[in-house]
Structure 1
Amino acid sequence: IIKKSIPGAGACGGMYTANTMASAIEALGMSMPYNSSNPAISNNKEEECIAAGKQMRILIEKDIKPLDIVTRKSLENAIRLVTIMGGSTNAVLHFLAIARAADIDFTLKDFQHISDTTPFIADLKPSGKYLMEDVHRIGGIPAVLKYLLKNGLLHGDCLTVTGKTLAENLESVPDLEEGQDVIMPLDKPIKATGHLRMLYGNLAENGSVAKITGKEGLLFKGTAKVFNSEYDANDAIRGGKVEKGNVVVIRYEGPKGGPGMPEMLKPTAAIMGAGLGKDVALITDGRFSGGTHGFVVGHISPEAQEGGTIALVKDGDTITIDAETNSINVEVSAEELAKRKEAWVEPALKFKKG
């Protein structure tokens, strides 16, 4: 069992957070070609380490700095790849932070625009059947990037750490292997638009992030089952207290309330393990592991600790999540929510230092 579940060194094999960010950083131009898809225990990986040192010297000699590479266009390339690959919701957090550090105006609306104009075509875990080693087998991330570039989905003129543009890097790269079914053709996608959806509504006035591949449907309407911590939710799911038609609400797990916005992998995994993946949704002001799949919405803002609407939800409230209209709402009147807000008392922080 151990040999099958952990076959070797390196990141977990699916399109989880590690492989999402590794491949996206390659598309961004901040890592060497093939860096993200070469297996960890391959000779290629050893050669990459040596090449990276040599390349650092070239970058210093040419005075190429990160801000020469990280631009709005290269960010769009990275998010485009995340979208076609079915990458982790954590990419939203990371790339918003990267954009802010680079002083680039990049918001949830930009993610949504890219998702609306990009098909989801990679049949990779957690929602699909293949792993990153299969991407390597059919040509690696450079072959995927070349396919996207040829079809007009990438900016080829972006500078990369090779000192060349993305298009120049891909000139000699072989095409994707013919007959493979890891990366579907753009005209026969798994989903016509991206899996990342930026949802707004009275439950998320400042936005939220959903990862919906379409396999779990595009609309979920159910009754709230509210928990003030991940641990309480885990106990309830294990105890059989979560039923078909429930929307599990896990709150006070945001950046301030968590603190630190912990990932909700255990409850989502428990829901899938209980066979409720298509019948139960989960929403939270926390975040998710890249391994999470199912009907899930995270990053809900304002968070509960700040008095966001998620703090006002009660057991039995009806919640509607609609990935077609990009909306998330609790069916409670504005007047009733105002009464609940007036009665709400901010709980003490879980930790005062550390």
Structure 2
Amino acid sequence: MSTAFGALRRRLLTPPISETTMKVRGFHVKNTESKKRLEQVGETFLQGYAFAVEAGSSAEAEELLETVPRDFRGFAYEGAAMGAVIHDALPGHGGRLAGLLSGRGRYHDYMIHVGIGWAMARLPRPLWPDIRTTDPLLRWLALDGFGFHQAYFKTSAYVRDPSPPAPFRWNGGHNHYTANAIDQGIGRALWFVGGTDPDTVAGLIRSYSEPRHADLWAGAGLACAYAGGATEQELALFARQAGEHRWALAQGAAFAAEARVRAGLVSEHTHLASRVVCGVSVEQASRMCNGLRPSVASRNALPAYENWRRDISARLASESTLRKGADQ
């Protein structure tokens, strides 16, 4: 049960909900429906964060997280991961993140690793968690979360006037790849900054230097399939606008499909995005991600995580070519 100290932690540590509104953030508003959805995502994230910092234990936080509506529950676990890391960084505290990952949170491991990155963006480096204790592949999603946070809260510097990424070092491995993983998170944030409007989001991506586009499109693909907010026609347009990065976009959407299947939270918009963007069903996309998941060892200079992403992109492109050949 939450204690008075837990309630105080929540009041002191939880950011105000107003910080997630489209008006405060200055994000593009496509329509009332998409605005409401994106703001609910932000509100749910902070709700999960508050559960993690206020609860008396990981188990109690988990019980609260399981009450969140299914379509948004993954965002609550993402927020809870950030809250758990912040909680563990307090003097005399610890074990909240480990408890989250060992409980039902293990089914939300994609989102929890992203949430770790949110906390890294807020904490001084000496208080960062030891990322080496997390999943060797999914830990790269922490940098995705870091990039999302920066683009979401420091939009002027990371989106409206994008500059080359600064060197970023961590102890998770392959420091030459960190900028790529951060860009994947920035791309995911662009789906929010652009208000789920395919033209606006595509325009934002094109404002970055070309070598960054593939990672940005992949992040946007994950967001369009996990967060939703676009119609079938809009998703089809978005896929066409990706051009040569069409299958990077699809890889991101496949990750979203796998994350929702693993958590048992598949939504209609994920079914739609998987079909339109990936060209396969949610179940097929999930099996593809699992079937291609590599061992920790890398087969070249790239991290195994990037090889995994490239293999998924290649398989989706190949499946599309086979289908077109069969239809002719």
Larger % of strand: which?
Answer: 1
Higher helix share: 2
Please state which band the TM-score falls in when normalised by the shorter chain: under 0.3
Structure showing greater radius of gyration is: 1
TM-score by length of 2: 0.26
